[in-house]
Amino acid sequence: MGKETLEIRWHGRGGQGAVTASKMLAETALEEGKYFLGNPDYGAERMGAPIQAYTRISIHPIKLYCQITEPDVVLVLDSTLLDTVDVLEGLKEDGIVILNIPLPPAEARPKLSNYKGKLYTIDASGIAMDILGRNLPNVPMLGAVTKVTGVVSRNSMASVIRSRLGATMKEKVVEGNVTAFEKAYDNVLTE
């Protein structure tokens, strides 16, 4: 982790697992001895409704318990949100966008009007469909954010995925999620 504190805002739709992913990233930070805060922000809980989640990770105790309004990283789990939600709002000038879209960054960039910063893309939905048989892009997006930021290690994140999902899911599903995480980690694209 290059910065002392990294602030991440997740944009998704209800049912895509943004809140779960935010919490798993925070748990991984805890496993590595870092301080963390992971919290959701959504109105009426509806499948498909736009939601936001936040992850704050630091090497120092965290004293801010509010929403993240000036993120270092924005993750977009559903590119259709770009038409209705200002996902770039407050993004720091040197911020990063990680977008779930089956396009290379140069082709996806026009969808982010006037955005000049760092853009990474990953076909998280495609990976989830291929490996899990469902459009659950959250774990592949964990692969992308782990690779891009280095905020936690690949091995630690895979271990937390196994333990967190293993508590409620069959081993085949858990290992499928780990495979999806690793595939996204290895295939995230940048310009």
Mean pLDDT of the chain: 93
* pLDDT at position 41: 73
pLDDT digits (tens, 9 = 90+) for 62-114: 988 888 999 999 999 999 999 999 999 999 999 999 999 999 999 999 999 88
What pLDDT is stored for residue 44 in this prediction? Answer: 55
Task: Give the integer Cα–Cα distance in Å for 110 and 94.
Answer: 18
pLDDT at 43 (0 to 100): 59
For the chain, give the secondary structure using H, E and C: CCCCEEEEEEEEECCCCHHHHHHHHHHHHHHCCCEEEEEEECCCCCCCCEEEEEEEEECCCCCCCCCCCCCCEEEECCHHHHHCCCCCCCCCCCCEEEEECCCCHHHHHHHCCCCCCEEEEECHHHHHHHHHCCCCCHHHHHHHHHHHHCCCCHHHHHHHHHHHHHCCCCHHHHHHHHHHHHHHHHHCEEC
Q: What is the pLDDT of residue 169?
A: 92
Q: Which domains are assigned to the chain? A: 5-190 (3.40.920.10)
Q: Provide the pLDDT for residue 72.
A: 97
Which residues of the chain, if any, have pLDDT below 50?
A: none
Distance from C-alpha of 57 to C-alpha of 28, rounded to nearest angstrom: 10
pTM of the model: 0.94
Closest to 61 measured CA to CA, from 33, 21, 39, 41 = 33
